[in-house]
Amino acid sequence: MKLSYTIRDVVKQNHRDLVEAKIPVGPNHQDYLKHYQSAVTEVINDMEEDEIKELEKTAEKWTKEGVPRELQLKYVFNI
């Protein structure tokens, strides 16, 4: 279990579709991971200030309370 969450963690979980759209190759491609972190950065850079503040609030909440159970299950079971 992670002790501290960042806005990057929130984007990775809550905005997967936006991240995937920034990656020029499919998830099974050998270069997928090479593009992943820059795609997350691009998504964050494209966001408005109010959206960033919401990400920060969510990251703070996750740090205090943990990631919501439905997201934990989604990650574990890839649903």
Q: Specify the pLDDT at position 77.
A: 44
Q: What is the DSSP letter of 79?
A: -
- Answer yes or no: pTM beyond 0.75: yes
47: in domain: yes
**Residue at token pair 């759209």:** 21
Structural domains of the chain, count: 1
2: in domain: no
How far apart (Å, rounded) are the C-alpha atoms in residues 43 and 11? 8
13: in domain: yes
Q: What is the DSSP letter of 31?
A: T
Calculate mean pLDDT across residues 5-31.
95
Q: Specify the pLDDT at position 9.
A: 93
User: For 49-61, what is each residue's pLDDT tens digit?
Assistant: 999 999 999 999 9
35: in domain: yes
Domain that holds residue 21: 7-77
The percent of residues in the chain predicted with pLDDT above 90, rounded, is 77
